[in-house]
Structures are given as structure tokens and as C-alpha cells.
Amino acid sequence: MQDDEGFAGEGKPGLNDPSEPLPVQALRARMRVLHYAISTEDTYAGWIARLVRHLDDENLEKYSEDAIGEFLTELALLREVDAGTQNQALCAILFYYQKVLGRDMQFINRLRARESTHLPLVMSIAEVKLLLPEFLGRYEVMARLMYGSGMRHKETRTLRIKDLHFDTGHIVVRNGKGQKDRITVLPKTIVEPLRAIVDEAKKIHKQDLQDGYGRVYLPFALSRKYPNADRETPWQYLFPSRQRSRDPRSGAIRRHHIHEGTFANAMRRALALTNIDKPATPHTLRHSFATHMLENGADIRTVQELLGHKDVKTTMIYTHVMNRPGLVVQSPLDRF
């Protein structure tokens, strides 16, 4: 139930698992107060737990930066993790020491690995046309929405009914990467399927209310600012989970949005039904959106805004994988 101070876990430490190491519990509590996503919380908690096992000690405060640096070096040399994984571990450790213990870690911050620049995997328009019909039910709508709007997988899963604007043809993406809002295009060809998805979500919510539930998670302090909003239809997820579950932070029984692995599994099944020999993931649909927009003549600044990139240099990487039919370059093999 909700008390006068809102649900635990929304700007509060929430529930902790007493079986976890004390540093992990402290990390989770701090991240919840600062409104970090639960996926980030779980990732950081995993790295702090590994650091505890590496040192065989829960009292992390007493260790020098050299000792912690050895852990990162072991990851790179013995575990052979890539630069991105090593930097993820570094971010988790920096967060714990700086935000939980209040300790400056300038030396260890210099251990950040240099990441390689990889070109994104992009499907051709023909491949996208082959793939999309192989999805079933609402997963096809999700796939078309991700490719047609450029939204990330998580942004699509967490989309709420109120953020679809059918009359103006746009979608408001809330709390995207960097906790920023933006507007992107709502594809006209999926308006009717999306209306059907909205109707289904409303039916599910109505049944939840009749069963004595129907409260949805609201970010930050909105549950206190708008006490009844979590029961209102506009705030419900567009793609709700098939069943209700217990919130790991607050302990409240809610219907959350569709699970991260559900659509990923649907995409693997769809790919298996085609002859597309590419290790595509849900994020590939976003990459393909950006590339095809640029190929069709869209301004790169417009694409930057639709994708929510902070720096246009991030968007420019798609110019390297564009299909340029007018490019006057001939392979030496073709001269034989």
C-alpha cells in the first residue's frame, strides 16, 4: 500500500536483500535515492559483489587505489574483458567510492580503457521488409515501432499510453538515455495496430483494478505529487507484462512493462525464419532507422534529434555504413 510518503524505492532506499554483501546493500540504497534505473543498479551491484569476492573482504573502505586497480587489471589481462566491460566495472567502483563512501578516486579514474570505435550493424531495407512480417502479434508492432521511430529497445518497452500522440503523429520519449525527454516520429502505417494495442492495455488495466491492483510504477516523486496517477489509464505501460509481479525495490505488486528478454527472443525467432545471416539484435532496428533516414536525404541534425544523441558526432557514424549508389569507387578485383 502507499503511505503518506509514497512507495519505498521511489527516492527511498527501499527493500534490501540481507544475504547480499553490505557494500552492495549500501550501493543499492544510494542508487535508489538518486533515482537510477534498476538495470543500472543491478549491473553496478554485480561489479561491487565481484570486487568483494576479489578482495575477500566486505570492508572496502580500507583498501588503497592500487588494490582496486589490480582488480581492473585482472579483468583486462586475465579475464580478457573488452574495454567497454572494463569501463563499466570502473564506473561501478567510482560510484561506490564517490557517492557511497564520499572518497575521491582521481588516480583510479585514469585507468579508464580506450574503447574501439565499431561500425553499427545495419540491415538493408530489403532485409527489414523480410524480417518484420515474421514477428507475431504485438511483437510485430514493437518491431515496426522501433524501426519506424528509432526508439531504443528500453524506450519502446517502457512507453506509456499518454506519450502516443496520434493526432499530431509524434511520440514523446520520456527519460531516455541520460534521463532526457525527446520527440520522435510516429509512423502512420502502424497507427491502427497501435490503437488496438492501446485498447488491449486498457482492458488489462481495467481487470487489474477490478482485482484490487492496477497501480503502475511512477518515476521519481510523481507518486507523491500525483497520488492517484498510478491508477489512471494514461500512465499505464503500452506493452504491459502478461502477469503481475512484485516490485523488487518496494515490494508492491504491480503489472510492469514487458520484460527485456521477451522481445529479444521474439527477434531471434523471427530472424531464424528468414535468410538474413546477420547477428541482429533489437538495437539493430534503431541503427537501421538512422541509416535509412540519412540515405533518404534526411538532415543529419534532424536524425540526431530523433535519436536523442547529445553530440552530432555520434550520429555521423551512420554515414560510414550508408549505401551510396553514386559513389565512384571501383574495387581492383572488378578491374580484372
Residue 120: per-residue pLDDT: 87
- In the set 97, 139, 147, 318, the catalytic residue is 318
Range picked from 3-17, 223-237, 266-280, 310-324 for highest mean pLDDT:
266-280
Sequential DSSP letters for 152-187: -HHHHHT-BGGGEETTTTEEEE-S-TTS--EEEE--
- The most confident of the ranges 139-143, 212-216, 294-298, 308-312 is 139-143
pLDDT category, 111, cuts 50, 70, 90?
Answer: low
Cα-trace Rg, the chain: 23
Residues contacting residue 86 through CB under 8 Å, at least 6 positions apart: 72, 75, 76, 113
Residue 152 known to be catalytic: yes
Average per-residue pLDDT for the chain: 85
Every domain of the chain with CATH number 1.10.150.130 lies at 22-109
Record the pTM.
0.76
Pair type for strands 253-254 and 164-165? unpaired
User: What is the pLDDT, as a whole number, of residue 2?
Assistant: 34
pLDDT at 332: 52
109-113 CB contacts, 8 Å cutoff, 24+ apart? 111/69, 111/72, 111/73, 112/87, 113/76, 113/83, 113/86, 113/87
Residue-wise pLDDT for 131-142, tens only, equals: 999 999 999 999
Q: Indicate the range of 76-85, 124-133, 203-212 predicted with least confidence.
A: 76-85
On the question of pLDDT at 60 being above 70, the answer is yes
Q: Select which of 32, 138, 287, 309 is catalytic.
A: 309
**Which of the residues 283, 313, 320, 335 is marked catalytic?**
283
Mean pLDDT value across residues 192-213:
95
Determine the average pLDDT of the residues in 178-200. Answer: 92
Residues, the chain, total? 336
Name every residue whose Cβ is closer than 8 Å to that of residue 298 and which is 6 or more positions away in sequence: none
Q: Residue 134 has what pLDDT? A: 96
pLDDT digits (tens, 9 = 90+) for 26-54: 999 999 888 888 888 999 999 999 999 99
Among this protein's residues, is 54 annotated catalytic? no
Separation CA 184–CA 150 (nearest Å): 8
Give catalytic status of residue 213 as yes or no: no
| Active-site entry in 138, 286, 287, 292 | 286
Residue 162 identity (one-letter amino acid): K
pLDDT confidence tier of residue 1, bands split at 50, 70 and 90? very low
Secondary structure class of 118 (helix, strand, coil): coil
Where are the CATH 1.10.443.10 domain residues in the chain?
A: 125-320
In CATH, the number for domain 22-109 is 1.10.150.130
Q: Is the per-residue pLDDT at 6 higher than 50? A: no
Q: Which of 112, 154, 177, 244 is catalytic?
A: 177
The predicted pLDDT at position 192 comes to 96
> How far is the C-alpha of 332 from the C-alpha of 92, rounded, in Å?
49
Q: Which residue has the higher pLDDT, 1 or 34?
A: 34
Q: How confident is the model at residue 335 (pLDDT cuts 50, 70, 90)?
A: low
- Residue bearing the bigger pLDDT, 90 or 118: 90
At residue 77, does pLDDT exceed 90? no
> What's the burial of 204, exposed, middle or buried (CB within 10 Å: 0-12/13-18/19+)?
middle
Please tell me the predicted confidence (pLDDT) of residue 79: 63
> pLDDT-derived band of residue 220, with 50, 70 and 90 as boundaries?
low
Active site residue 103: no
Which of 32, 138, 152, 257 does the annotation list as catalytic? Answer: 152
pLDDT of residue 11: 55
Topology of domain 125-320 in CATH is hpI Integrase; Chain A (1.10.443)
